Structure 1
Amino acid sequence: MVRVVGIDHLVIRVGDYERSKAFYGRLFEFLGFFVLGDYGDQIGWSNGKTRFWIGEADAEGKKHKHRLGNIGFHHYAFELRSRKDVDALEAFLKREGVTIVDPAAEYYDDYYAVFFLDPDGLKLEGMKWGEMTKKAARAK
């Protein structure tokens, strides 16, 4: 049986390449990513495990702005090391003036996250799950 062992990369199209390149460049530097490749019309970042690429949308694509609720991309979540990292990400986003749609909080049992938008309104998330459960298990 064929088995997926991970997600190699995500590629998104953006409305303003330079604006998004700057946004993601700052975000990914903060998150510990490095530039994997920059080909002028597309750029990708990696942390050695996850790869994320952007490229500019074509003229037809730019006519249809992203709207949460449409068919397609809903959000992309970055799993962080700790709840403290989620809080640090939220503080970074605030300093950068990024739109935070759901602030850092407990959204599900032992699931702590912050949700925010990229320049095109694509929803992104920084999250940590299971931290409190692991701490409780270690304390026993």
Structure 2
Amino acid sequence: MEASEIHRGRLIDHIQLVVRDIDVSRKFYGAIFSVLQVPIGGEADDYFWADELFVSTAGSEAAQGSLTGRHHLAFQAQDEKMVEAFYRAALENGGKDNGAPGERAYHPGYYAAFVLDPDGNNIEAVYHGKATRSAASVTVTF
């Protein structure tokens, strides 16, 4: 696997999900990434990757024979319409509803949708609204 860009200074360098059925996951993630305008960076029979997310089978060398547990991944959307399109694409491609598109109380302008991917991971698309703020200094309380 070859990276097209290396980004320094990020909290997360990459994440790997090890899934039961790579073809089902490829369909699901391909659909939501198309909506979110994130290209698939590369793929083979036992894996694919987009940006810093690597998805593989348990049989791939990096997985060491084990599935990953349940994770929550949140992807940024450009606007509310993109969140809604993400939700529809996810449900049409093997995802299950885990929270329809709408505003959340996390902070003003937080608009999100949640779905479970085919392996039960909680996948979110979020648009943070048009609130005036510095991109590097948003405080969120959980």
| TM-score above 0.5, yes or no | yes
How far apart are the structure 2 equivalents of 1:82 and 1:28?
A: 15
Q: Deviations over 1:12-49 (max 9, x none)?
A: 10011222122212222222222212132211123xxx
Query: Contact conserved, 2:14 with 2:53, CA < 8 A, in 1?
Result: yes
Correspondence for 1:106: 103
Partner SS state of residue 25, structure 1: helix
Cα distance per residue 1:89-117 (max 9 Å; x no partner): 22333444521111111112321110001
Q: Cα distance 1:93–1:25, how it changes in 2: closer, same or farther (>3 A)?
A: closer
User: Does residue 1:88 correspond to 2:68, yes or no?
Assistant: no
Structure with a larger share of its residues in strand: 1
- Root-mean-square deviation (CA), in Å? 2.5
Identity fraction in percent: 28
Q: How many residues align?
A: 119
Deviations 1:23-77 (A, max 9, x none): 212222222222212132211123xxxx211011259635xx84x5xxxx3x000
- SS of equivalent to 2:119: coil
Amino acid at match of 2:99: D
Residue 79 of structure 1 corresponds to 76
1:16 aligns with 2:21: yes
TM-score (norm: length of structure 1): 0.70
Where do residues 38-57 of structure 1 align in structure 2 (5 Å cutoff)?
A: 38-46=43-51, 51-57=52-58
How many Å separate the matches in 2 of 1:117 and 1:27? 12
Q: Secondary structure at the match of 1:103?
A: coil
Determine the structure 2 residue equivalent to 1:137.
none
Structure with higher Rg: it is: 1
